[in-house]
Structure 1
Amino acid sequence: MNSFLKKLCVFGSLLAVLALAACGGGGDKGADEASPTNDDEATSFPEKDINGVIQWGEGGATDIISRTLASIAEDEVGASLVMQNKTGASGAIGAQYVYDQPADGYTLLFGAENPNLYQLLGISERDYVNDFVPVSIIGQSYAGIVVNKDSEFDTLEELVDYASKNAGKLKMGTSGEGGLPHVASAMLKSELDTDFNLIPYDGDGPLAVALLGNEIDVTVLAVSAAQEYVESGDFKMLAVLNNSSLDSIPDVPPITDIYEQFDQYLPWGPFQGIFAHKDTPDEVVQKLSDAFEAAQNDEEFIEKLTSLGVDPLNLHGEEAVEFVKANQSTSTWMLYDAGETEISPEELGIPKVGE
């Protein structure tokens, strides 16, 4: 009889276990309900500081604009923005770092246009279109061709004439392959048969220092980064890469006033934007976009951009995506048509603008 009771108890216990399993396990279910889901995390975002990674060095256009906006945006975001510069490889070091972090919105890339060219130039597998989602496109900048105040060149025609007749003698500072000066030099080479000795630096700030110290003969800087040096008389800006003059530097001629053939490339220029990992939850991206949109409506920030020769854009969502794609198309095909790369943008699935 005792043996029967023991077997009955064992059988009863087994039934109880099976019943709990069929219900999903009462104790485990409670634990699951207490664990945050992705929706819960998006709702409570942000719960800690957000890291902002600037892919260029201190003092350049991207650095100035990013840090100015970050200080305004903290109240809108509801968290501190801890900014840091991660330079190298034409900005690819910073871009890869952000890509390698968890896709949770707590690490953002404050970047410029360069990742649009990485795959074409073999710099990195990363690019904006496939690996990131734009949180905000802040503004469209313009570029200027600049020389030291003591340079023998006072006009773009003089510079072009020398660079055409003395291949490789003039040192042009660049921010690496795919950077603004590299693309601009390809444009000049294609249309005017110039030939520069390209010297790489880590962004606009180091480039400006190099030009001040006469380490280089010429460079192409975002107007926002060069303007203070032009106004102080340290630099001469020979032309802006645009098809009309800029209000911030009205005395500097647009390049199309000197060489009409550049009109086919313009308007074109660098831009600044904020990007998150492509797998960041949509709700988090939307929260960030809304916060940065509000911050960019700040009158003082708009005045700051305008004073730097930057057109405020404040683009988000599909508009931002289309802007990035159009910039990638223009820049990649410009380099390819100039003979600066053997890889065709078509091989990467990048169409020409308008196609």
Structure 2
Amino acid sequence: MNKFFRRIGILLSLVAIFALAACGGGDKSTDEASATKDNDAASSFPEKDINGVIQWGEGGATDIISRTLASIAEDEIGASLIMQNKTGASGAIGAQYVYDQPADGYTLLFGAENPNLYQLLEISERDYVNDFVPVSIIGQSYAGIVVNKDSEFDTLEDLVDYASENPGKLLMGTSGEGGLPHVASAMLKSELDTAFNLIPYDGDGPLSVALLGDEIDVTVLAVSAAQEYVDSGDFKMLAVLNDSSLDSIPDVPPITDIYPQFEQYLPWGPFQGIFAHKDTPEDVVQKLSDAFKAAQEDEEFIEKLTSLGVDPVNLHGEEAEEFVKANQSTSTWMLYDAGETDISPEELGIPKVGE
């Protein structure tokens, strides 16, 4: 009897072992099936239109550059790019929308630098480094301090003196917390003791309209967005936030010619890029990157960027990732050092550039 039960016990043990092996084999099979599915999806990508989400309003630098590139890239990708603007919350609404979509490469974020500051300013939990993968960094832009053609201010010194002596009286248009004008105003406040009344708008396009209509006294725009208004005489650009002049607007002085103390922050400026959800299959990201890389080599597109005061960079892969991290480091520490936020970038695991 004891021998019988021993045999039964052995048989049961063997059954258990085989069952566990089957389970393990099932997991492996599932993983292989998932990998095969991803590979199949990548090899056939794209099978439908791709949605491009622009996180800023129509007519701004990001909008102009994104739509121009999208029309060229369609032939390289082999699918239509359906572009739409999703504005609000300093671009966070558009970024969150893309993050919430399936990570399959069919929804891309055409964005600027703002998500690099979301966590620091408690605007959103999303950021480029942790939640997205760069498909392409298109270009590095520069910023200019601009006023209406009829403004009483003809030089940056005039503007700074008035803003210092009349704190809060001048209306500065911004694109919200973390936007280019907000960061620039923090630099001015930190170094020149200026105080502006910040009025938010949904990107460079609406800011330009507001300045044209005298709704605001001053703003900071990407040179790419302000260029046509400066050329037409509608805007006066008092200075560029750079340590040297720009070929596209050679008569506008760099801010360091007027206030040398800004050299510590420069070179710095906005950028435009294309991003996918972090979990998008690598092969799909690579396909998209290759297509946008080829599109950005188009001579007419390069001429367009250059005419807008944008340096074409056309970065992909690790180079793009390092570029985004460096921009985040510079911008977050700039705001923190200017006293614009109580949260230290160090708390978010963001090192200073070079550390």
Confirm or deny a common fold (TM above 0.5). Answer: yes
Tell me the residue number matched to 1:322: 322
Which residue pairs with 1:5 in the alignment? none
Partner of 1:156: 156
Alignment match, 1:249: 249
1:36 Cα deviation from its structure 2 partner: 6.9
Displacement of 1:209 in angstroms is 0.2
Determine whether 1:180 maps to 2:180. yes
- Partner-residue secondary structure (3-state), 1:120: coil
Matched, 1:193 2:193: yes
Partner of 1:239: 239
Residue aligned with 2:350, SS: coil
Question: Aligned-pair distance for 1:182?
Answer: 0.1
Shift of 1:232: 0.7
- Unpaired runs of 5+ in structure 1? 1-21, 23-28
Cα distance between partner residues in 1 of 2:116 and 2:36:
36
- The residue that corresponds to 2:25 in the other structure is none
Give the drift of 1:242. Answer: 0.3
Distance in 1, matches of 2:146 and 2:262, equals 18
Matched, 1:290 2:290: yes
Measured after TM superposition, the shift of residue 107 of structure 1 is: 0.1
> Who is 2:274 aligned against?
274
Once the two structures are superposed, residues 300-355 of structure 1 have per-residue CA deviations (whole angstroms, 9 ceiling, x without a partner) of 00000000000000000000000000000000000000000000000000000000
> CA–CA distance in 2 between the matches of 1:36 and 1:244?
52
Deviations 1:55-86 (A, max 9, x none): 00000000000000000000001100000000
Measured against aligned partners, the alpha-carbon deviations of 1:117-150 in whole angstroms (never above 9, x if no partner) come to: 0000000000000000000000000000000011
Q: Which has the larger radius of gyration?
A: 1
- Per-residue Cα deviation, 1:238-268 (whole angstroms, up to 9, x for no partner): 0000000000000000000000000010000
Shift of 1:220: 0.1
Give the corresponding residue for 2:218: 218
Q: Counterpart of 1:75?
A: 75
Structure 2 gaps of 5+ residues are: 1-21, 23-28
Query: 2:12 corresponds to which residue?
Result: none
Quick check: 1:106 aligned with 2:127?
A: no
2:135 aligned with 1:135, yes or no? Answer: yes
3-state SS, counterpart of residue 51 of structure 2? strand
CA distance in 2, matches of 1:147, 1:298: 34
- Which residue is 2:261 aligned to? 261
Partner Cα separation in structure 2 for residue 305 and residue 257 of structure 1: 25
**How far apart in 2 are the matches of 1:158 and 1:185?**
16
Shift of 1:187: 0.3
The whole-number CA distance in structure 2 between the counterparts of 1:266 and 1:310 is 16
Give the secondary-structure state (helix, strand or coil) at the position aligned to 1:109. Answer: strand
Offset from partner CA, 1:27-70 (integer Å, 9 cap, x none) = xx9xx98x971110011000000000000000000000000000
2:201 partner amino acid:
Y
Q: Deviations over 1:97-132 (max 9, x none)?
A: 000000000000000000000000000000000000
Amino acid at match of 2:311: D
Structure 1 letter corresponding to 2:74? E
Letter in structure 2 aligned against 1:284? V
Q: Give the Cα separation in 2 of the matches to 1:37 and 1:265.
A: 47
What residue in structure 2 maps to residue 86 of structure 1? 86
Equivalent residue number for residue 41 of structure 1: 41
Show the counterpart of 1:59. 59
SS at match of 2:261: helix
**What is the one-letter code of the residue matched to 2:113?**
E
User: Counterparts in 2 of 1:304-315, with a 5 A limit?
Assistant: 304-315=304-315
User: Which 4+ residue blocks in structure 1 deviate beyond 4 angstroms?
Assistant: none
The letter of the residue matching 1:180 is L
Provide, for residues 277-300 of structure 1, a one-character-per-residue CA deviation record: whole Å limited to 9, x for no partner: 000000000000000000000000
The residue identity in structure 2 corresponding to 1:139 is G
Mapped to 2, the partners of 1:36 and 1:135 lie a distance apart of 23
- Alpha-carbon distance in 1 for matches of 2:279, 2:186: 35
CA RMSD between the two structures? 1.7
Q: Give, in whole Å, the separation in 1 of the partners of 2:247 and 2:151.
A: 25
* % identity of equivalent residues: 90
Mapped pair 1:349 → 2:319:
no
* Residue-pair matches, total: 328
Paired residue for 2:7? none
SS of residue matched to 2:331: helix
Cross-structure match for 1:12: none
Name the residue aligned to 1:15: none
- 1:121 is paired with a residue of what secondary structure? coil
